[in-house]
Amino acid sequence: MKAGVPVEYFRDTYLEINLDHVYHNVTNLIHNFALNTTMMAVIKADAYGHGAIMVAKTLIEAGIRHFGVATLDEALELRRAKINCPILVFGGIRIGDLIVVQKHHLTLCIHSEEWLNRALDSYIGPSIDVHLKYDTGMGRVGITDEVTFIELFEKIKKCKQFKIKGVLSHLATSEEMDDTYYQLQISRFESLLEKLDLKGLHVHIANSAGSLKPIPKHVNMVRIGLFINGIRPASHIDLPFVLKPSLSLYSRLVQIKSVPPGVRLSYNGIYETQKNEIIGTIPIGYADGYDRRLLNGRVYIEGYYCDIVGRICMDYCLVRLPLAFKEGTRVELIGEHVTLDEYANKINTNNYQATCQFSDRLPRIYYRNQKIVKIVNRRLMTKIGRIY
């Protein structure tokens, strides 16, 4: 490192995010699925751990003009980064925060009759764009009764505080091969839509997996989340093009030692050496989001698959090596040879929970046009927060 050049991270454990792959995925999605619909990019949970701001900027390059997030904080993060496209906040908003929503020209999701009535009684500011949510079978939030939904829809159309811009629901089983429940939800949604004046509104229910199915009547928007980063919600789901995963996870060996037979390693001593073994230490652990449940995982080092041994610690994990590599040798934990799906299966979860778990202790290194364009290390941001 040259003198005077700022150091942006101080550990050799990091995520690489390939924005070229994000661009590839989204341009192909637009070409194949958005000819007669508008595509909303869902980048909640920091774009599923990939970094919402850098991903959003790439999505805009690719032609995306609508975003969805879970919380007001996530929306404000995008606004502060000069992301000026329409942003829909799916989660609940405190009525006292409606002035913040209006100030930043955000769109909110209304899913409660009680909340709407309190907001109409309390909020006196300029009009806010809203989407009204119908619960067709997910069971989390939304209006469950069709008659009530229609009444609220008409009430919003007549009020001054809110302007209706969309109607939505959410699918619970779109990635499953048995589409019985999926069809039930679609039928409920279509029954409601037939009774509404939808002129000029965005109507959406399909998520990534749902976008591969025939678009229901009246629906003119799809929400894409997992596909953006090259993640499939289920292994049997195929697309007419190759999704390219955008996330890789790397570290380096910090110690190599020869261990005789009969030695227990790591917490609780769940692994015991059976012979003379070469053990390497990697500086990554569950504080980074590398899951403690991983008991039979593997990494890839210079052409060799190496088994993880012992319990994953907060800051370290151990691997059994085929030879005495040098300290500092690069380790692939997730990437071309150890896929995200393999890692997620080993910890008994889905691939997108796995990426959401990766903490802000891991620097994110972003590549575009095969060059590093940004390094994001939130642990070194200023008190106010550096906008990257």
Ranges of CATH 2.40.37.10 domains, the chain: 247-357
Q: In what order do the strands lie in the sheet with 255-259?
A: 255-259, 277-282, 317-321, 304-309, 298-301, 330-334, 247-252, 14-18, 364-368, 371-376
Q: Is 48 a catalytic residue?
A: no
The single residue listed with the structure tokens 């039979």 is 296
Q: Is 316 a catalytic residue?
A: no
Here the tokens at position 127 are 């009009």
Asked if residues 50 and 25 have their Cβ atoms less than 8 Å apart, the reply is no
pTM: 0.93
Which is the catalytic residue, given 163, 257, 267, 305?
267
Q: Is 265 helix (H, G, I), strand (E, B) or coil?
A: strand
Ranges of CATH 3.20.20.10 domains, the chain: 20-229
Say whether domain 247-357 belongs to CATH 2.40.37.10.
Answer: yes
How far apart are the C-alpha atoms of 64 and 40, rounded to whole Å? 7
The single residue listed with the structure tokens 């919003």 is 156
Nearest to 21 by CA among 316, 327, 336: 336
Is the four-CA dihedral 182, 185, 187, 190 of positive or negative sign?
negative
Residue type, 31: H
Which is the catalytic residue, given 23, 44, 57, 271?
44
CATH number for the 20-229 domain, one of 1.10.540.10, 3.20.20.10, 2.60.120.10, 3.40.50.720?
3.20.20.10
Task: Print pLDDT tens along the chain (388 aa).
Answer: 444 445 688 999 999 999 999 999 999 999 887 667 999 999 999 999 999 999 999 999 999 999 999 999 999 999 999 999 999 999 999 999 999 999 999 999 999 999 999 999 999 999 999 999 999 999 999 999 999 999 999 999 999 999 999 999 999 999 988 999 999 999 999 999 999 999 999 999 999 988 888 888 899 999 999 999 999 988 888 888 999 999 999 999 999 999 999 999 999 999 999 999 999 999 999 999 999 999 899 999 999 999 999 999 999 999 999 999 999 999 999 999 999 999 999 999 999 999 999 999 999 999 999 999 999 999 887 544 443 3
What pLDDT is attached to residue 7? 63
